[in-house]
């Protein structure tokens, strides 16, 4: 599922293909992924407009048009973009496409239809309405520590909560816990300030490293982070990897190497 680094890659792709071109037609084939409008409404909202820039916040990609309004692209589990010309290059599960005045098309492909496409007349109002947290790569350590203070949730649950931190999903959350040797089920209020600072640093180091490589979730470049260890059973050079549900998500950790902190002062 696309998380912050993968959506950053989509942002680069959209910037290279979709900006500064007039939309001559918006063709919606299936409006199930349109969440606050019909296909016809979406076409009316975008037809004749030009995308000028994009803004990414966590897993949310906003494309700003020449009238100051935005289109939100949230890729869900299987969303993708394809810039093409020839009909035979059209994505198999294209749900809609922008047709530009140069004849090229930018299609939104989504086999499982879990993506969310919205019209956003006022960006700041929308972000406030959904209570979307600060982007994980924009957030400061001071902000992170302030958010963490007094929280009683698990570390994994905290990292996944998009109202606290925007952009970290299931896979990168496990990687952050793995790097810091902390069990993902540890209680936030049982972790020391030093440990929380280590979590913050690992989060930003991992995401920055990933972003720099422009990953696509369907084909990661080389051996990706979790390829080295995130598999159940004995992993050479890692240890015994266990799995279970934490914060409602399938979670992996290394037995004996990621300590559980589940009582207050347990991490101090």
Instruction: Please list the rounded mean pLDDT of every run of 10 residues in the chain (268 residues).
Output: 95 98 98 98 98 98 98 97 98 98 97 97 98 98 98 98 98 98 98 98 98 95 94 97 98 98 68
Closest CA to 168 of 126, 200, 124: 200
In the chain the domains, ranked by start, together with CATH numbers, are: 4-130 (3.20.190.10), 134-254 (1.10.8.50)
Neighbouring C-alpha atoms within 13 Å toward the C-beta of 114: 7
Provide the pLDDT for residue 230: 97
251: helix, strand or coil? strand
Provide the pLDDT for residue 1: 77
Provide the pLDDT for residue 265: 61
CA distance 215 to 224: 9
Provide the pLDDT for residue 114: 96
Contact between 158 and 164 under an 8 Å Cβ cutoff? The reply is yes
Provide the pLDDT for residue 45: 98
Residue 166 is encoded by which pair of tokens?
């925007």
Provide the pLDDT for residue 267: 46
Provide the pLDDT for residue 268: 45
Stated as kind and residue range, the H or E segment containing 159 is helix 155-160
CA distance 218 to 72: 21
CA distance 51 to 23: 8
């Amino acid at each position: 599922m696309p998380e912050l680094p993968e959506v950053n890659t989509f942002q680069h792709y959209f910037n290279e293909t979709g900006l500064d071109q007039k939309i001559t037609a918006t063709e919606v084939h299936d409006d199930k992924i349109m969440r606050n409008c019909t296909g016809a409404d979406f076409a009316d909202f975008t037809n004749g407009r030009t995308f000028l820039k994009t803004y990414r916040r966590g897993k949310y990609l906003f494309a700003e048009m020449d009238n100051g309004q935005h289109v939100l692209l949230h890729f869900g589990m299987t969303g993708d973009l394809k810039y093409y010309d020839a009909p035979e290059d059209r994505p198999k599960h294209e749900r809609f496409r922008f047709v530009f005045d140069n004849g090229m098309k930018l299609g939104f492909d989504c086999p499982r239809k879990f993506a969310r496409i919205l019209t956003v007349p006022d960006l700041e109002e929308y972000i406030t309405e959904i209570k979307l947290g600060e982007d994980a790569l924009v957030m400061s350590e001071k902000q992170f520590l302030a958010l963490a203070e007094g929280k009683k949730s698990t570390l994994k649950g905290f990292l996944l909560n998009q109202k606290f931190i925007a952009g970290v999903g299931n896979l990168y959350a496990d990687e952050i816990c793995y790097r810091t040797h902390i069990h993902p089920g540890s209680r936030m209020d049982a972790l020391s300030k030093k440990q929380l600072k280590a979590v913050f640093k690992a989060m930003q180091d991992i995401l920055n490293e990933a972003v720099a490589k422009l990953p696509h979730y369907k084909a990661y470049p080389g051996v990706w982070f979790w390829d080295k260890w995130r598999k159940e059973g004995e992993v050479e050079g890692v240890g015994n990897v266990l799995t279970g549900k934490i914060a409602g998500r399938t979670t992996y950790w290394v037995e004996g190497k990621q300590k559980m902190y589940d009582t207050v002062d347990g991490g101090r």
